Structure 1
Amino acid sequence: MRIRSWAAVTVFTLFGMALWQVQARQANVVAAASRGSEATARDWPVYNGGVNGDHYSPLTQINRSNVSRLKVAWTFDMHEKGGLQTNPLVIGRILYAYTPSQKVIALDGATGKVIWTFSPEMPGGQPTRGLSYWTDGKESILFAGALTNLYALDPATGKLIPTFGDQGKIDLRKGLAEGDYTGVYLAPTTPGLVFKDMIIVGFRAPEEEPALHGDIRAFDVHTGALRWTFHTIPHPGEYGYETWPKDAWKITGAANNWAGMSLDEKRGILYAPTGSAVTDFYGYDRAGDDLFADTLLALDANTGKRIWHFQGVHHDIWDRDFPSPPALVTIHRDGKAIDAVAQTTKQGFVFLFDRANGKPLFPIEEKPFPASNVPGETTSPTQPIPQLPLPYARQLLTADMLTTRTPEAHAWAVEQFKTFRSEGQFIPFSVDKQTVVFPGFDGGAEWGGPAIDPRTGVIYVNANDIAWTGGLTATKTSGNAGTDLYQHQCSMCHGADRKGSPPAFPSLVHVDQRLSDAAITSLIHDGKARMPAFPGITGEKLDAILAFLKTDSDAMNTGKGNSAQKISAESSARTANTTLSSKSELGGAEAATARYHFTGYRKFLDPDGYPAIVPPWGTLNAIDLNTGKYLWKVPLGEYPELMAKGMKATGSENYGGPIITAGGVVIVSATIYDRKIRAFDSRTGKLLWEYELPYAGNATPATYMIDGKQYVVIAASGARNPAGPQGAAYVAFALPQRT
């Protein structure tokens, strides 16, 4: 679906009339919107609102007729800098959330006043998107992930519960690797899902080796004891083992559930999407489809046994992880109600399945795609493409879609585009030539996930719609430990030239002039924002990388530089290829070493930093899952400086998802540069209200009721736009008191 101007985009609003047909079905499915007890209806007790992942609230006090009157009710400024992606929990009167340094805080939900604060042993900078809450009506436990640990806290006091694990915490790395696991990174980015007396968890893993096995695990909420494990990289005798090289499970990592999960409580089915296996972009050592990487898994929540699965990308070499928890919905076909599960993707697809058996509810075709010409790489001959709904992001970048913002920007884009390979989805990367990835590595849809109105079966999904590029280049071992270590572990994000792709991937050129050795070491060991931690880089390796970062750019690729880098050739080879050499038995000569590596994530931005293609650059979409038809599509986000020049409604990158309420409003923030939170009419996409936040609201809102007043709260922070205001705060809104 190609959209070349907003004249075309606005055509989608004409589909608004079809919503009246959707609403006619509403009376038949009101029961499906029930959220249990009255207390549950008032609260926001689970990440994204409920275990079904629908981002829905049955509250109606804030509605289409009065949402324009929303005012700030309270603000809690954390006086910290960094990213904040948390969707808070609200239970009773208490709001539970994180700060950018991974402190857990409890606030009065009506006033924003601090009740208690819990600080983990060490501050962290990893994204923390939410918490988990368990109760049996008599006792309660709050679960918080920070760094590599899962903590069990008393919700009333914030104190550790010492009977859980090791004095209140468990190290989630245990059991995911043979031998010493302490030098490998893991982060519980998205909260675990509570089922009965278990908490089921996934985690974020590195994009390169070494990476831990991506097992999905359930732990006892009281003791922290392991209850079950599902191997996402199958062991011998397990389903899917044959889709990998022999014994791949021993040495291959990731295929992890970092995006979160959803649950059909009645059936006891857990829905867990997974990401790609390492390494992300060159699959020389993992020939085959690689189940269960890039897979939507339906597991028995009691035992962890597989019920059904769907692999969205076979042998992924594009980092096309499933980015968010799926959302459960009941749709209607031919007078029948069908319980379904909807999964959004970075590619811009919505996959819809029968919840019980995995049967596709819209046709999915296995379409052929070109083979890779990179030595050692064997791509899948086909990939699954849904026929409905149509993609919510553009799929093919052509020359007539290049930016026209200024004549100079257009001319620059034309020359750049001539050097790219641009043929649509699932085109294998080439060596020393950039291939267009569109929508980009950050979607399409992202980790915020969609909202679904259970009364109508309409899904609301915000999407990025800009182009990135990627490619491969030959691996050259220089004999210089710092150079080789940077190439193997760092160049994927920061580029071979250390220039990165700001702001997401900052430049490391002259980083030693901005940060001390101690500060750089802290970033390496603990990570921050999108950067994973590398706790295994210590001793000689750490000295070598610190020395490398102090070399000038001309010396970078020559092996020249500070004498501190000149450690033995044996140590250098060990540093650069520790995990690669152990894989030589898996695939013969081609697999003996990583002959090629990724050139880095590159956004296709013009010299002024704007997307080098025509808008829309970000959208909010409403799709009727009963029919697969679009109801409306509107731009989401603005660039204030472009607005001032008359370039309006461009859309922008956006991170964090929407919520939908029974009051008929879709509330979403997500946009980076205008820092706004917005409310739209769920029927038509009409903008009903907007407010400029102190920082960007790159998170999913929550809504709840205390003392008869409905609130909407959003986490705001400045990390994704270094040029904008820096800080972090929770901002809550409510209707003004009537006089």
Structure 2
Amino acid sequence: MAITLTALIIFLVGAALGVGGVWLAVLGGSWYYIFAALAFLITAALLFRKRPSSLLVYALLVIGTLGWAIWEIGFDWWQLAPRGGVIMLFGLWLLTPWIRGGLNEEEGRSRSAWGPAIPLAITVLAALGIAGYSMTQDPQQIAGELSKEVIIPTPDLGGNMPEGDWHQYGRTPYGQRYSPLKQITPENVGTLQLAWQYQTGDVKLPEDIGETTYQVTPLKVRDTLYLCTPHNWAIALDAATGKEKWKYDPNVGLNPDRQHQTCRGVSYYADPTLTAGQPCAERVYLPTSDARLIALDAANGQICPSFADKGTLHLEKGMPYNPAGYYYSTSPPVIAAGKIIVGGAVNDNYSIHEQSGVIRAFDINTGALVWNWDSGNPDVTTPLPEGQTYTHNSPNSWSVSSADEKLGLLYVPLGNQTPDQLGAGRSANVEKFSSSIVALDLNSGQVRWVRQTVHHDLWDMDVPAQPTLVDINTATGAVPALVGPTKQGDIYVLNRLTGEPILPIEEVPAPAGAIEGDFTSPTQPVSGLTFMPKPLTGKDMWGVSMFDQLACRIEFLKLRYEGRYTPPSLQGSLIYPGNFGVFNWGSVAVDPARQIMFGMPTYLAFTSRLVPRADVPPPGAGTKGSEQGLNRNEGAPYAVILAPFVSPLGLPCQAPPWGYVAGADLRTGKITWMHRNGTVRDSSPLPLPFKVGVPGIGGPIITAGGVAFLGAAVDDYLRAYDVTSGKQLWEARLPAGGQSTPMSFALADGKQYVVIVAGGHGSVGTKPGDYVLAYTLPK
């Protein structure tokens, strides 16, 4: 009975592999699955007849699969396992007494014990040995050590504040995410313990939009932390104890038209014309998801009525349209040169009738408009006259800008014009400024230089990250530099005064063949420091078994794919890296003394399929545009369906690792080390801590003590790393997803803390919560 049932199962496996294998071969893929199917079918036929030769045939399948797998991908266990896992399980079962002992060649002949099974046993043992060896290998890893040499002993950190404070999103207007504190070191970080925990009370509600998420980095001024929550509550905490000092709720309400319900941070300002203790001498500026900017007294959370309209600046003013929920701020404004400078997010791919992406500078005290830079009308930056509107649907800046007051420049990361995947009819200004870093004069808003990171963007490759400002030593001396991470994996290292490259930029050929009426750029830029992935091939397809791996191979060949910048198509195109980004708003952290960077490159492929307008279903529940699924692009000839490239089981079709930590030398552009980061503990049915290397969204920080801190991964941990080698030194289990960027501060007694906000991320599906957690060394 056992033999007959086994034979039937093996026959069904062979039949399924045969159908899929023929389909794959017809598409131009590997023929292995056809040969494997034949081996399964022959084994099944011989088992039905109880022939010992069935074990020999199966031994040939095991050794053939092993050779093929090693030829394809080497000794990477995470890729060997799906190729051979099912085959090994059947091989072990065939060696059991219930199968082996029931095989004979002729009726009535004595049954053999091990003779016909020896070849199969040898091949299975060999495969197990190879599997064990591959578990000790990591062919994807780059091992090395960054130099510990201090290149600039007293680097320019971009802000005048105590070492233990953190006054802006990236600590200073330079956005370095670097703390000069040294108390926590690689030697003692392993003893970090929870100092205090606070819960905001702002939790995700059933009626909230999907991407309701905590992405906030708290600020620290003297003895107080300031932060915001997804529904834009502003909160002040005692830095020593985590006790709440005040809370302000702007009552933004729930709006299903918003794509994002988040707040990455508030902005802090101390008015030098007022005496400490006077009302609103120190202010916290809160951006909201209903397009307001609210000035609050940092001492008590009360509204500062002298700013704008009784304390509130209404950002919808001057916009060409006014549908609620289609324009809002998710990132903290920049404060520099007596101005508060605001960008804004627009809903991607809802409609061609989008709000303007204008950048506006307001007087920090009064809220009066000082200048406005509208990329649709870039030469006129004087305040927009009453009754006029900004250019609709111009590239916007939803991320964080940086500023250098000494040079008088603001550095703005820009996105693309909606629809992201359709480029026909874009204006000359859109073609110039889309997906670029733009330097604006802080006093006038006039363009000083522009550096485009992708030409004629058809892939939603917004510049997502705050540019980091750092002085870099070159052969000709110290140069004021800008480090700009991008979704496509390039990190631009530019002279921030001129926009010219410090590390070389090369224009390389790019795929052609856009839809009729559109075009692609013949070349695309690649930076001298790049984390762009190698192009995918069939052998890079993955699954937990050979069946879903086969399905991914078939799907891969059905899609259009010609490498990075494959244009969107009606058949469906594979976009790799996808618009999730190698780097996103979390940016990178830079050590300005050692001239090195720490980052979290992520690799996920997406699919993009254009849908002719006539085939788009009418508006209704579940069909409104979003960043995944059907993006309606109302008013355009095509909608687009965007989705992660996943298997029938919902796992990435490309092989892991999907997430790394990495260190690079900013002077040479060399990636010195790169290691898998994160486990599948919180993203698999069983809580298994396998260090596969998982995706994440959020950002890192670096401390002068030589330690980097990062949450972000889709498992719920905060981790510490040795910046020099990338070795993980410590981790703390978080009560919710840690998709925010941590920060570090010190109290008056010199005690150093690390703080992270853990509230989860709606789009990536991590555990929601409302926690603020502070860690410090034991007394």
Same fold (TM over 0.5): yes
Q: Which residue of 2 aligns with 1:409?
A: 548
Q: Which residue of 2 aligns with 1:400?
A: 539
Which residue of 677, 700, 724 corresponds with 2:741?
Answer: 700
SS in 2 for 1:471: strand
Letter in structure 2 aligned against 1:678? R
> Residues 643-668 of structure 1: CA distance to partner in whole angstroms, max 9, x if unpaired?
97988321112111000000100100
Q: Which residue of 2 aligns with 1:222?
A: 365
In the TM superposition, what are the counterparts of 1:16-415 in structure 2 within 5 Å?
16=145, 19-20=146-147, 23-24=148-149, 26=150, 28-32=151-155, 39-82=161-204, 83-123=213-253, 126-137=261-272, 138=275, 139-147=281-289, 148-177=291-320, 181-183=322-324, 185-208=326-349, 209-234=352-377, 252-286=392-426, 290-334=431-475, 336-386=477-527, 388-389=528-529, 391-415=530-554
SS in 1 for 2:488: coil
1:286/1:255 CA distance change after superposition, 3 Å:
same
Which residue of 754, 757, 760 corresponds with 1:715?
Answer: 757
Q: Following the alignment from structure 1 to structure 2, what is the Cα–Cα distance between the partners of residues 3 and 198?
A: 55
SS in 1 for 2:590: strand
Letter in structure 1 aligned against 2:619? G
Q: Which residue of 2 aligns with 1:650?
A: 692
Letter in structure 1 aligned against 2:721? F
SS in 1 for 2:155: helix
Matched pairs, number: 615
Question: Is the Cα–Cα contact under 8 Å of residues 604 and 612 in structure 1 kept in the other structure?
Answer: yes
Q: Following the alignment from structure 2 to structure 1, what is the Cα–Cα distance between the partners of residues 439 and 671?
A: 27
Task: Confirm whether residue 668 of structure 1 aligns to residue 710 of structure 2.
Answer: yes
Q: Following the alignment from structure 2 to structure 1, what is the Cα–Cα distance between the partners of residues 593 and 253?
A: 43
Which residue of 602, 627, 630 corresponds with 1:495?
Answer: 630
Normalised to the residue count of structure 2, the TM-score between the two structures is 0.75
1:711/1:236 CA distance change after superposition, 3 Å:
closer
Question: Is the Cα–Cα contact under 8 Å of residues 441 and 468 in structure 1 kept in the other structure?
Answer: yes
SS in 1 for 2:327: coil
1:373/1:12 CA distance change after superposition, 3 Å:
closer
Question: Is the Cα–Cα contact under 8 Å of residues 267 and 334 in structure 2 kept in the other structure?
Answer: yes
Question: Is the Cα–Cα contact under 8 Å of residues 259 and 325 in structure 1 kept in the other structure?
Answer: yes
In the TM superposition, what are the counterparts of 1:580-659 in structure 2 within 5 Å?
580=635, 594-599=636-641, 601-640=642-681, 648-659=690-701
Q: Following the alignment from structure 1 to structure 2, what is the Cα–Cα distance between the partners of residues 112 and 656?
A: 23
Q: Following the alignment from structure 1 to structure 2, what is the Cα–Cα distance between the partners of residues 423 and 112?
A: 52
Q: Following the alignment from structure 1 to structure 2, what is the Cα–Cα distance between the partners of residues 86 and 492?
A: 21
Q: Which residue of 1 aligns with 2:584?
A: 446
Comparing 377-386 with 656-665, greater Cα deviation is found at 377-386
1:722/1:645 CA distance change after superposition, 3 Å:
closer
Q: Following the alignment from structure 2 to structure 1, what is the Cα–Cα distance between the partners of residues 322 and 687?
A: 54
Q: Following the alignment from structure 1 to structure 2, what is the Cα–Cα distance between the partners of residues 411 and 173?
A: 51
Question: Is the Cα–Cα contact under 8 Å of residues 158 and 174 in structure 2 kept in the other structure?
Answer: no
1:722/1:93 CA distance change after superposition, 3 Å:
same
1:196/1:724 CA distance change after superposition, 3 Å:
closer
CA radius of gyration, larger in? 2
Q: Which residue of 1 aligns with 2:725?
A: 684
Q: Following the alignment from structure 1 to structure 2, what is the Cα–Cα distance between the partners of residues 444 and 712?
A: 25
1:258/1:724 CA distance change after superposition, 3 Å:
closer
Task: Confirm whether residue 434 of structure 1 aligns to residue 575 of structure 2.
Answer: no
Task: Note the C-alpha offset of 1:267.
Answer: 1.1
Question: Is the Cα–Cα contact under 8 Å of residues 281 and 597 in structure 1 kept in the other structure?
Answer: no
Comparing 602-611 with 316-325, greater Cα deviation is found at 602-611
SS in 2 for 1:101: coil
Task: Note the C-alpha offset of 1:184.
Answer: 6.3
Task: Note the C-alpha offset of 1:370.
Answer: 3.1
Task: Note the C-alpha offset of 1:252.
Answer: 4.0
Question: Is the Cα–Cα contact under 8 Å of residues 9 and 633 in structure 1 kept in the other structure?
Answer: no
Question: Is the Cα–Cα contact under 8 Å of residues 583 and 600 in structure 2 kept in the other structure?
Answer: yes
> Residues 178-228 of structure 1: CA distance to partner in whole angstroms, max 9, x if unpaired?
xx5355621111111001221011111121322111111100111111001
SS in 2 for 1:411: helix
Letter in structure 2 aligned against 1:164? F
Letter in structure 2 aligned against 1:379? T
Q: Following the alignment from structure 2 to structure 1, what is the Cα–Cα distance between the partners of residues 668 and 295?
A: 44
Task: Note the C-alpha offset of 1:320.
Answer: 0.3
Which residue of 450, 462, 468 corresponds with 2:600?
Answer: 462
Task: Give identity over the alignment, percent.
Answer: 33
> Residues 111-130 of structure 1: CA distance to partner in whole angstroms, max 9, x if unpaired?
11111010103345721001
Letter in structure 1 aligned against 2:287? G
Comparing 391-400 with 300-309, greater Cα deviation is found at 391-400
Letter in structure 1 aligned against 2:399? A
Question: Is the Cα–Cα contact under 8 Å of residues 132 and 192 in structure 1 kept in the other structure?
Answer: yes
Gaps of 5+ in 2: 1-71, 78-136, 205-212, 255-259, 276-280, 382-388
Letter in structure 2 aligned against 1:712? V
Question: Is the Cα–Cα contact under 8 Å of residues 396 and 422 in structure 1 kept in the other structure?
Answer: no
Question: Is the Cα–Cα contact under 8 Å of residues 206 and 254 in structure 1 kept in the other structure?
Answer: no
SS in 1 for 2:162: helix
Q: Which residue of 1 aligns with 2:33?
A: none
Comparing 192-201 with 405-414, greater Cα deviation is found at 405-414
Gaps of 5+ in 1: 239-248, 497-575, 581-593
Question: Is the Cα–Cα contact under 8 Å of residues 324 and 449 in structure 1 kept in the other structure?
Answer: yes
Task: Note the C-alpha offset of 1:3.
Answer: 9.8
Normalised to the residue count of structure 1, the TM-score between the two structures is 0.79
Q: Following the alignment from structure 1 to structure 2, what is the Cα–Cα distance between the partners of residues 345 and 79?
A: 34
Task: Note the C-alpha offset of 1:237.
Answer: 8.1
1:339/1:642 CA distance change after superposition, 3 Å:
same
Q: Following the alignment from structure 1 to structure 2, what is the Cα–Cα distance between the partners of residues 62 and 221?
A: 36
Q: Which residue of 2 aligns with 1:510?
A: none
Q: Following the alignment from structure 1 to structure 2, what is the Cα–Cα distance between the partners of residues 71 and 184?
A: 41
Task: Note the C-alpha offset of 1:491.
Answer: 6.5
Question: Is the Cα–Cα contact under 8 Å of residues 514 and 520 in structure 2 kept in the other structure?
Answer: no
SS in 2 for 1:446: coil
Letter in structure 2 aligned against 1:255? P
Q: Following the alignment from structure 2 to structure 1, what is the Cα–Cα distance between the partners of residues 609 and 619?
A: 23
Q: Following the alignment from structure 1 to structure 2, what is the Cα–Cα distance between the partners of residues 486 and 643?
A: 27
Q: Following the alignment from structure 2 to structure 1, what is the Cα–Cα distance between the partners of residues 331 and 629?
A: 25
1:722/1:423 CA distance change after superposition, 3 Å:
closer
1:237/1:327 CA distance change after superposition, 3 Å:
closer
Q: Following the alignment from structure 1 to structure 2, what is the Cα–Cα distance between the partners of residues 491 and 84?
A: 19
> Residues 388-423 of structure 1: CA distance to partner in whole angstroms, max 9, x if unpaired?
12x324141111111153222212211211211121
Task: Note the C-alpha offset of 1:250.
Answer: 7.1
Comparing 619-628 with 279-288, greater Cα deviation is found at 279-288
Letter in structure 1 aligned against 2:550? A
Task: Note the C-alpha offset of 1:33.
Answer: 5.2
Q: Following the alignment from structure 2 to structure 1, what is the Cα–Cα distance between the partners of residues 657 and 264?
A: 27
Letter in structure 1 aligned against 2:191? R
1:193/1:160 CA distance change after superposition, 3 Å:
same
